[in-house]
Structure 1
Amino acid sequence: MYCGSSTLSKPKVSIIGVGPGSSDWVSPASLTAIEQSDWIIGWELDFKPLGKLPDGKRIIFQTCADYKQIIEKTALEAFSAHASIAILKTGDPLIAPAGLEDLKRIFNKFDMRIIPGISTIQLTAAKVPVSLSDCQIFTYHPLPHDGGRDLRLKRKRMVFALERGFNLLVLTGVRQSPKQTASFLIHAGIDNRTPCLVCQNPGQLQETITRCSLEKLTNLNFDWQSVLVVINGKSPFKASACNP
């Protein structure tokens, strides 16, 4: 636990969305928050949108081996030093909020703020285009020691959402590629002719758009940085816009 006498004396921590990967999508608010911080934490990929490492800052990289321990250790050190921290998150930290509850717990005695960013989910929805209010959003992040429970739960929710007329916006991951999602949905009884769109590397120079059916999607491979849209025939959105 951390101790602090008042809100005014608390060190600050900012959880900052830095967009999908290109400097074009990093907001002025995010850049200002980074500039005002003493220490900056993130995965190597989180620093990519900045173009270069910020000058005059303590830079702390997270890795698969110690990503949680690094956060906890840094929180203790920053509190003692009364240093302000920026935690970088690719996209928007509230769209794919993996670890957000842990961050709130670890920094519960800090003055925390969240700076939203542009998400690949938003960019992909704009490519279709389809309203986010007509969609259900699904994100996949491997959870240690859960035995695949999170993956199974979200797969059930995808079917539930389609049955109730929603489109799907699926932020894919290493455990759930677009082709795996398509195969699961077909086996769950979803029409294999259902139109889809896959945006690979959204918002980056190597961005590509693929429009096809669920059936065709089962035979296609994409980079893990992809977003899948599955268009529901019951949706008010015109499914023909996703057809090749």
Structure 2
Amino acid sequence: QPMALLQAKDFLMGLYERVLSGQTSIREKLGIGAASLIFSSLSYLWYLGVFYTPRPVVGKLESIKHFFYYQHKCPVPELGGRVMGLVMKMVFNPALFDLEKKDFKFMGCCQSIYYDDPNQLVDQRDFRAVFGYAVTESLSADQVEEVLRHDSSLKHEGEIAESKCITTYFPWRNKLSYSIGAKKAYPALDAFFRENQSSLGLPERKLSLERSMEKEGRIEYYCGFDEKTQERFLSLMTLPRGEYK
């Protein structure tokens, strides 16, 4: 084994010297190019979190003071485009978003709630979701009214208390993180919930929640709420449930 390492070292040193002197063969140049491409690709995939493994734990969902939200239905593959359209509606609400500062006027984060298992739906277009902005600071009645006045399709829910639940996260890098993270985080949450539902005394799971924490560099995922909290989130969805298999 030491002899093999010495031979590899000698080969690499020789290759390095030939690269510097410009004496590498076409085969060596192609090999170096292929190795560089593979290394760059693996580095980018690592950066995106493709090799990251979410680890669910028993944690908590922090409380919010207000939730401005939309209800909608669409197939899961179309969620990204649908949410982007809803984000733009909020961006052009002058009572909610400051275009000059390119940020929301109130402290908080974007939040999604998902109400269906897409694998059980007969029609994927019946996948129900809520998307909106969760405000963590107190607002006056006038401020709430002003936000709603600029968008008749926007709904409002008052304070939702902190609750114990199952949670995990995925690193946020760019918009691709949402699709990669969902494919990794939700199966991990499902498995953890099934293994621990009984010991934690949790009711049947009827929804999942997701918070976008881009400034903090992560996407947070939640499920396994107590019955009271789950019923509160269920009350936000008034669209009829689609047919299940």
Give TM-score scaled by structure 2 length.
0.24
**Larger relative contact order, structure 1 or 2 (CA cutoff 8 Å, min sep 6):** 2
Larger Rg: 2
